[in-house]
Amino acid sequence: MALPHCRHFLLIHLIILSATSLASPQEQETPVTRFQQYLRINTAHPQPDYASAVSFLISQAQSIGLQYRTLEFSPGKPLLLLTWLGSNPSLPSLLFNSHLDSVPAEPSKWLHPPFSAVRTPDGKIFARGAQDDKCIGMQYIEAIRNLKNKNFAPARTIHVSYVPDEEIGGLHGAAKFVHSVDFENLNVGFVLDEGQASPDDEFRVFYADRSPWGLKIKANGPPGHGSRMYDNSAMENLMKSLEVISRFRESQFDVVKAGKAANSEVISVNPVYVKAGVTSDTGFAMNVQPSEAEAGFDLRLPPTANPEEMKRRIAKEWVPAIRNMSYEIIEKGPIRDYMGRPLMTLTNASNSWWLVFEQAITFAGGKLAKPEILSSTTDARYIRQTGIPVLGFSPMSNIPILLHDHNEHLRDTVYLKGIKVYESVISSLSSFMEA
């Protein structure tokens, strides 16, 4: 009885080997198929598969002769660092950063499973992380692969970092990395981190991020029957604050609507939850006034904002203690560097790194849009806090902005063009001798 079973197993094994041998080398191993392999590793929260992602990236580093090491500043949260030694290691090095993790996806809302990396006939690669930001993580490696094949030798040492937990604040990844001896020993002079896609033919570039604050406000008041009219009830006090905050939001939004500032240049504030009421098994008790009421807001401050002035506004106007109110501000990362300066990288002639970067984009046949502040937040803010210049850049043009969206995708042609752009950027910056 064992013999037929064994033959059946061998037959299946031979069929699999035959099917594998029929696939062409180009189909098995190309820049696009390697990108698809990386996308298929599910690194979405709340349980990102960091181990598989790091293992895959190490295999890619080994295939092109890059040094690698894994750092772990928090248990289960690895940070991978790849290194290409330059001929003059005394020069400040370059760091190209991306993050390993992704935000969750809702499979039922997608045309294709979000971790299948399906490539449609028109070249669209559907996957969570296709734009944010596994594309640049692989483009760095592919660009280095091409430069090595051309026998290019960098003068400056090049580092490529893959950090965990960016999508949940980076506190156990980049934040700890930049304050470590490991980072200090890299002697980094300039950094590129992630950017965003561009719907037109110009590449977007970001010289600053907005800083996120989580604001929780709480009101207290006398409980009582729903028919009574109280002064300073919890819900009344909360509603007064909501009105004040809403007026501030409208004033900032009016500036944007009038074309006087970009969305990323103003202070945005958006309500994210309201919590109040007395409940029972049958639902809310409509005839009971609650003694507590709470609301939460997402604030984003551009680096030009004065954080102390914002705190004074919150305490005096938004949540005055005289109305039996209290508040908590959760600051999610820095807004000033160690010298008290706004976290911004110069994009003019006074920054020689900027000039070299700008020329490299032009040499690659690309065009840069006007430098801007990123409306959201990346790990770049932790690096800028040390005083090192950082630009946010992802070479994606003529494609909709789909980060965190359903059906996130990237065209294969856009991805391949980005590799060529990074070839120009890496070769130009690593050959630059003056900074």
Q: Which uninterrupted H or E stretch holds 82?
A: strand 77-84
Annotated active-site positions, please? Answer: 101, 166
HSE-CB for 209 with a 13 A CA cutoff: 28
In 285-354, the DSSP E strands lie at 288-289, 292-301, 325-331
HSE-CB for 244 with a 13 A CA cutoff: 15
Q: Which of 430, 372, 380 is nearest to 161 (CA)?
A: 380
DSSP characters over 125-191: EE-TTTTTTHHHHHHHHHHHHHHHHTT---SS-EEEEEES-GGGTSTTTHHHHTTSHHHHTT-EEEE
HSE-CB for 270 with a 13 A CA cutoff: 7
In the three-class reduction of DSSP (H, G, I as helix; E, B as strand; rest coil), residue 266 is classed as: coil
Amino acid (one-letter) located at 201? D
d(CA 275, CA 270): 15
Measure the CA angle with vertex 97, ends 415 and 215; round to 5°: 105
**CA dist 167 → 109, 170, 211, 240 (Å):** 21, 7, 14, 33
**Under a CB-based contact definition with an 8 Å cutoff, are residues 274 and 295 in contact?**
yes
d(CA 345, CA 367): 19
In the three-class reduction of DSSP (H, G, I as helix; E, B as strand; rest coil), residue 327 is classed as: strand
Q: How many other C-beta atoms lie within 10 A of the C-beta of residue 200?
A: 11
- DSSP assignment, residue 203? B
**Under a CB-based contact definition with an 8 Å cutoff, are residues 167 and 68 in contact?**
no
